[in-house]
Amino acid sequence: MNIKASNVQKILIVDDEQDIRQILTILLTGEGYEVVCACNSEEAIKLVDETIALILLDVNMPGKSGFVACSEIRQRWQVPILFLTAYGQESDKAMGFCAGGDDYITKPFSNTELLLRVKALLRRCYVYQPMPIKDSLILSVGDLCLDEETQKVTVAGVEVILTSTEYNILHLLLTHRKKVFSMENIYKSIWEEDGAVVGDNAVMVHIKNLRKKIEKDTRHPRYIKTAWGKGYYID
């Protein structure tokens, strides 16, 4: 389900540490955002609705972890999710992306870095609008269709729920058919920053998740092809 942005964007903070919730609330409200808070995954899942523009989600919490909460939220909502965690290994980041997260920031982080990532995610998801190609709002290849106006993706008429990052990657490849995008190209196009900031495995994990959702056989993909040693493309 798509989430529409309002004039004042609402951010959901999910963290079991009260001090962190308070600090983030002061920081974000000072930037003009509306903030709601949850102290655990169960409460967060109940709070997510069409008014939430972004979720800041802690990973290590009592009960359900942030990864589990993210997976459950992704069953209904496409809202961008930024993980907050003390775990900085590439394997941890890969788990976050596999769960459906859009970005990842490691504690301790600076207020400036957090705000930059929040604004970048909101800008990617709600400000930048894809330009129609050949006066058509529908991009298609085979049974795969992407509606630029509604941002709805279907395969053989069945809707596929994508994260905002997965959608942006698919849109990038569909609007530049046959062009091979290296991982660096995709980093710069989607994240608008150097690949090292996001992590070496980010694009590969998102492509893997995307293929799981749109391909019948991920070992022999019909849509997103791999140009070995070069990158990815849609033929």
Q: Report the chain's terminal Cα–Cα distance, integer Å.
A: 28
pLDDT in tens, 20-69: 999 999 999 999 999 999 999 999 999 999 999 999 999 999 899 999 99
Residues 6 or more apart in contact with residue 128 via CB below 8 angstroms: none
**Cα–Cα distances in angstroms (integers) from residue 69 to residues 9, 72, 96, in the given order:** 21, 5, 11
Q: Is 136 helix (H, G, I), strand (E, B) or coil?
A: strand
Give residue for tokens 């495995």.
201
Binned at pLDDT 50, 70 and 90, residue 189 comes out as: confident
Q: Is 32 helix (H, G, I), strand (E, B) or coil?
A: coil
Question: What local confidence, expressed as pLDDT, does residue 86 receive?
Answer: 84
Check whether 131 has a pLDDT greater than 80.
Answer: no
User: What interhelical angle do 18-30 and 111-122 show, nearest 10?
Assistant: 60
User: What interhelical angle do 202-214 and 90-99 show, nearest 10?
Assistant: 30
Assigned token pair, 112: 């400036």
Q: Which has the closest alpha carbon to 69: 91, 89, 39? A: 39
> Rounded to whole angstroms, how far apart are CA atoms 141 and 88?
38
* pTM of model > 0.85: no
> Rounded to whole angstroms, how far apart are CA atoms 109 and 15?
15
User: What interhelical angle do 164-174 and 202-214 show, nearest 10?
Assistant: 80
Could you tell me which residue, 128 or 202, shows the higher pLDDT? Answer: 202
Question: What local confidence, expressed as pLDDT, does residue 14 receive?
Answer: 97
Binned at pLDDT 50, 70 and 90, residue 2 comes out as: very low
Binned at pLDDT 50, 70 and 90, residue 148 comes out as: confident
Of 12-21, 111-120, 125-134, the poorest mean pLDDT is in 125-134
Binned at pLDDT 50, 70 and 90, residue 136 comes out as: low
Residue 122 · residue 202 · CB < 8 Å: no
Alpha helix locations (H) across 2-129?
18-30, 41-47, 66-74, 90-99, 111-122
Could you tell me which residue, 93 or 219, shows the higher pLDDT? Answer: 219
Q: Which has the closest alpha carbon to 21: 44, 48, 51, 2? A: 44
Q: Is 8 helix (H, G, I), strand (E, B) or coil?
A: coil
